[in-house]
Amino acid sequence: MALKTGKEYVESLRQLKTRVYMFGEKIENWVDHPMIRPSINCVAMTYSLAHDP
C-alpha cells in the first residue's frame, strides 16, 4: 500500500465513525472544527511532504 497524500489523509478521517466531544459538547463535523483542523493540517502536510522529491 502506498503512502497517502495529505488530501487522502483528511478524507480518510471524514470516513471514520468517530464521536468527538469538546467542553461537554458533541462536535458533529470534527474534521473541519476550527480548534481541531490546524492539527489535522499539520499531519496532512507531513503526508504531502513525504511525496515531495
- Residue 20: phi and psi, rounded to 5, are -120, 130
Residue type, 52: D
1: confidence class by pLDDT, cuts 50, 70, 90: low
Label residue 52 by pLDDT band (50, 70, 90). Answer: confident
DSSP strands (E only) in 1-53: 20-22, 25-27
The answer to whether 3 and 50 have CB atoms below 8 angstroms apart is yes
Q: What would the pLDDT profile of 12-44 be if each residue is shown by its tens digit? A: 999 999 999 999 999 999 999 999 999 999 999
Q: Which three cell numbers stand for residue 25?
A: 459538547
